[in-house]
Structures are given as C-alpha cells and as structure tokens.
Chains A and B, each alone.
Chain A
C-alpha cells in the first residue's frame, strides 16, 4: 500500500487493523486510536482520498490503495496544510487527542463542500468527538479552513478576502454572533 505517497510494507497478520498497522508497524503515530468501534473519529485517515475510519478496516484491505495520514498533509518544517493552519489560528484544539481525526475529516469534508454553510459544517464534524473544546472553536476553524483553501491566487473568493487578517479575527467575530 502507498502511505503518504510512499510504498510501505503490508501487514503480516490479516487481523491487524489499519490503525494499528499505521501506528505500530509503520511508526505513524499521528493517527490516534480512541474507541476502536467507529464512534470517536480519532483514527480518521484518507483512503483513496476519502475520509474513513482506520480502526474499522483491516490493513490487508489497503493493499493496492493509497492512504493519507496526518503526517502526509505537510512536510516537517514546511507550511502547514490550510486545515492545520486554521485549527492553529482558531484554537480548534486543546489536548489535541482528537485533532488528527478532525483535521483528516475536515480535509475530506472541504473537498466535497468547498463553501460550507454553518449547518453543513455541523453535519461535517458530527462524526468526530472532542471532549475539550465544546466544538465552537472547531466550527470556526472549519470556516477559516474553507477561506484559507479558497485564498489561492486563482481562487475566485481571493479578492473579497484580502482584508482578512492572518489571525482570522473576522472569522472569530462572525462565529460569536451565531
């Protein structure tokens, strides 16, 4: 299987979960394991580009497929992925345990919904549990991530967002009005 663009060895045992294979065999401990029954969302990775629960897949099922983990979003020292940047700016985390799962879910969510409404954001993050933030800052982070993603020079929304401060102040204000 390809993990973050690199061909990696297969799991030796068919009952090895993809989450455990990533963490224990490949050393990619950014993928967290919470509940192991698909409820908490901590172990979310991209499987052929779509977010899935890695605790609900066997590693052998990923043979011939592409997996992207949180480690694959940005190289060490390089600029953060827009979704990571947005979580950083909007304090979309406290203890950080759920964060890799949230970030991977949101990466997949924004691919399908580049300009999400607040209702769509709630729906989009409903499959991930956070016990620290109360979700308000995560909602803002998703909104900010959508804006950062569209801020590329060719993005059609780039012009209207040029006044936005890098710290995302406007986003926070708007979030608090809700």
Chain B
C-alpha cells in the first residue's frame, strides 16, 4: 500500500526540529525510515505530521564520550557496523549489527531510530539495556538523559515525550565477556527470542512487551511470553533457556 497523507517538514537544525515537535499535534520523527515507512505503507501509522530530520547537519556523529561511545540520531547502522571506534569500545554493538535486518536496510536505518521505535523483538534496545546505556532527549524545554532501564515502556512505546527528539544514544565501554544470540525464522528477521550477555547482565528480547533483564541462573523466571503464528509461549521459553546457555558458554 501507500502512505496515508501527512504534512511533511524538513527542518535544517535541531532547534527547528524541537520547535516543530513542541507545536505540532500528532507528529512523528522520520530518521532512517526502515521501520516507520513500512508502518506508513501498511497504514498502521497515520501521523498528521512527519518531521524528517535527515537534512539536519552534524547529527550523524559516532564519538567517544564519558568512557563509552555516543551515536548521533542520524548515524546509520552501517556506519556503526564499520566504525573502528565502536569495535574498540563496544564490540558487542558491532556484533549486534550483523543481526539487525540486512546490510541494505542498515545503510538507511539508524541506531537511535531503532531505540525510539522500541520494537520488543529488536536487538538494539536489549543491548542498550544489558549495557546500562542511556539516550539523550532534546526538546525546547531542555535536554535530559534517559537510562535504558527507564526508556522502554511497552510495544512501540517509550518514555520520550511527544515534543522530545532522541538526539543521541550512549553505550558504555565493554570489558569482559559478552555475547548476543537469537533465533529467527529467516536470517535478518526479527527474533522469536534473543538474549544479550554483557557486563554480567542478561537481557532478553522478543519475549515481553519490552526488553527485560533476567537472572542468568534462572532466565525464564516470571516470564510470560506471548504466542503467535511463528512461536508458542512454551517454545519462546525454551529458546530463552537454550540461548542463555549458549551466550554463557561463549
């Protein structure tokens, strides 16, 4: 299908983006568009206004900050995948990129967009959660850091306010063992279930309405995943156990 009608804006500065978000009712931010445009095409999303941030300069940065790596709102997943800085500071992020859709999608898709989209089956929110990273939200009211543990609210829902732009994601430096593993029906698909092991923390994805932290000794405790055409709840619980064993052995 085709996107429903919307008012389109292509602001040229962050201030302009924030001003638009503070005044427009029912606006969506368009970054890489690899999740939002399919939703528009399916008409699952019908925002009245679309604020395209792709013409804002200086938002594609990938740089070292506070002992970790900061990734700007327009840093493409492919750029993060290829970044020597990311590979050095947070190799888990580099490894994760290979599981996020396909390279052609990663040429457009952004890290920050994946986080703001908050798909419970996607890898990046779980990686941010396991690492204990944060995002920076900007609005005309100012700027604030939102820790990963407080960012993901529900399926496709974050604690970002409607007038806030996610300008940066920050991933702490990684030391020690790490691993990410997932099971999907086809390579590049969203995971039926996945686990991230980093900094002594286990995060799960695809098994709840948000990514969740779990006890690696009993990873399915308190977990009630939903079932669908692709996997039953029992199968997802089974996957969590098997995948946890795999990442702990890695």
Contacts and interface: CB of A to CB of B under 8 A. Distances in A.
A127 interface: yes
A56 interface: yes
Most A CB contacts (10 A, CB to CB) among B8, B38, B102, B188 go to: B102
B6 A14 contact: yes
A41 B104 CA distance: 9
Contacts of A38: 34, 37-38, 101, 105
B6 A127 contact: no
Most B CB contacts (10 A, CB to CB) among A20, A44, A55, A127 go to: A127
Contact of A56 (B7, B37, B188): B37
B1 interface: yes
Contact of B3 (A15, A51, A109, A123): A15
A56 B33 CA distance: 6
B188 A126 contact: yes
B2 A53 contact: no
A120 to B, nearest CB: 10
A131 interface: no
Contacts of B187: 126
A22 interface: no
B41 interface: yes
A56 B108 contact: yes
Contacts of B40: 15
Interface residues of B, number: 30
Contacts, number: 84
Contact of A15 (B4, B33, B108): B4
A51 B38 contact: no
Contacts of A136: none
Contacts of B188: 126-127
A7 B78 CA distance: 28
A53 B101 CA distance: 12
A36 B108 CA distance: 16
Q: Do most interface residues of chain A lie in helix, strand or loop, or is the interface mixed?
A: mixed
A28 interface: no
Contacts of A110: none
A50 B104 CA distance: 8
A57 B104 contact: no
B216 interface: no
A1 interface: no
Contacts of B38: 36-38, 56
Which 10 pairs between the two chains have the least Cβ-Cβ distance? A127-B102, A14-B8, A37-B38, A56-B37, A15-B3, A50-B107, A127-B104, A51-B104, A36-B41, A52-B108
Given A20-B2, A36-B41, A58-B30, 11 more contacts: A14-B6, A14-B8, A52-B104, A55-B41, A56-B105, A58-B37, A60-B52, A61-B33, A108-B107, A109-B103, A127-B104
23 contacts: A15-B40, A17-B3, A36-B1, A37-B42, A41-B102, A47-B107, A51-B107, A52-B104, A52-B107, A53-B104, A55-B41, A56-B33, A56-B37, A56-B38, A56-B105, A58-B3, A58-B8, A58-B33, A58-B37, A123-B103, A124-B103, A126-B102, A127-B101
